[in-house]
Structure 1
Amino acid sequence: MSVIFAVCPWIVYAIVSSFTSVAVASLVSGAAALILIGLRIARGGRPAEMTIDIASAVFFIAIAVCAAATGSDLVGRYIGAASELWLALVVAIGLALSRPFTEPIASREVPPELHGTDAFRKFNVKITKAWLGSFLAAGLLILVSIAILGPEGRFATYVLIPISILVPVRYTAYLAGKERLDAVPA
């Protein structure tokens, strides 16, 4: 469910940006992210579980300010690439600090005796690296599509962003199933 919450502000942006400016759409999306963070906290969520949500709120509010200040289409043209690269940076910083963003989320899904084990930590580092690679690849591919196709290249965003989420989600599910199978005695 946390992935659904994390993606909601991006869905809001996709809808709202279709009929208003980048600045307004970003502001609305930032507000949506903050509301969702508040709802998750009210349900007992911990901020450590909301790295992507918090990063999304910061991103959209910063984009709203930049778009309002510049009043240009340039921000809108690069927002897809910027969002993916921003998330890659957030995930990379977490890894550099030995705090994979998936670990607090995964700790809700496994028995407490597994928390803090080397296997649990390695698993989370592995899937967090998958998220990092996915965000980074999507961001760079969006930039390449804009470089090649000009402003129309931003439409690659509509394909690459969902893929950048689906691939690590599926990879995580695959690894989780594999780890469970490996843990079952023969």
Structure 2
Amino acid sequence: MRGLLGFLPWIVYAFVATGDEWRWGAITGLAIAAVLVTVDRRAGRGWDEIVIETSAAVFFACLTVFSLVAPDSPLTPYGPALVNAWLAGTAWGSLAIRRPFTLGIARTMAPREVWEAPGFYRVNAVITAVWAAAFTVAAVSLALVLSAAPHATTLVIVIKALSFALPAVFTAWYPKRVRRALAGER
């Protein structure tokens, strides 16, 4: 559950920002991300444990500046797609540098003796890849929906919800499945 808290700035942005007014969403996302990063760092959490929170702080700082400088930008309606594209880039980037963003979070929940095991890394790489794929599919889907039917609010909400819910369910399920398989269970 702790790892999902890092998505709070993104989720709140999704609720606060609208197609016509994304500034308040950006400012709110930035404020929440800054608080999360500050609280986590003061609590002694390493940067590898707060990749999503740090990514949110950078994204919402940039989006806040951009939304204030160009409030009527043609990108305004594509805010939801931009969020998912950024999250996809964060997840894929963490895999590219062989530091899946879930690894630091998983280390806070697993015994130290398994941290260096290849299986531990592999499980986190798979989980991160599922998040990355979900964000990528959501970014493309949202861009298409928003360009074809900009007022399809229900569909946009469904896509946003699924892009978080499906990988979250997978994240909870997959490590248990791997443990059962290693224990020889079916």
TM-score, normalising length: structure 2: 0.89
C-alpha change, 1:172 and 1:12, in structure 2 (3 Å) is closer
What does residue 147 of structure 2 align with?
Answer: 147
8 A contact 2:10–2:83 mirrored in 1: no
1:161 is displaced (CA, Å) by 1.8
Which 5+ residue runs of structure 1 have no aligned equivalent? none
Instruction: Give the number of equivalent residue pairs.
Output: 184
What does residue 183 of structure 2 align with?
Answer: 184
1:153 is displaced (CA, Å) by 4.2
1:4 is displaced (CA, Å) by 3.5
1:78 is displaced (CA, Å) by 0.6
Q: After TM superposition, which residue ranges in structure 1, 4 or more long, deviate above 2 angstroms?
A: 1-4, 10-18, 73-76, 153-157, 183-186
Letter in 1 for 2:125: V
Partners of 1:87 and 1:130 lie apart in 2 by 12
8 A contact 1:81–1:138 mirrored in 2: yes
8 A contact 2:9–2:29 mirrored in 1: yes
2:122 paired with 1:135: no
Report the identity percentage. 26
8 A contact 2:145–2:156 mirrored in 1: no
What's the RMSD between the two structures over aligned residues? 2.0
Partners of 2:25 and 2:154 lie apart in 1 by 17
1:182 is displaced (CA, Å) by 1.9
What does residue 7 of structure 1 align with?
Answer: 7
C-alpha change, 1:137 and 1:185, in structure 2 (3 Å) is closer
C-alpha change, 1:3 and 1:113, in structure 2 (3 Å) is closer
Partners of 2:57 and 2:94 lie apart in 1 by 17
Partners of 1:45 and 1:37 lie apart in 2 by 9
Which 5+ residue runs of structure 2 have no aligned equivalent? none
8 A contact 2:91–2:132 mirrored in 1: yes
Partners of 2:80 and 2:138 lie apart in 1 by 9
Partners of 1:59 and 1:82 lie apart in 2 by 10
Partners of 1:159 and 1:9 lie apart in 2 by 18
Superposition pairs of residues 11-160 of structure 1, within 5 angstroms: 11-17=11-17, 21-72=21-72, 74-149=74-149, 151-153=150-152, 156-160=155-159
Letter in 2 for 1:67: S
* TM-superposition CA deviations, 1:68-92 (whole Å, max 9, x none): 1112163331110000011101111
TM-score, normalising length: structure 1: 0.89
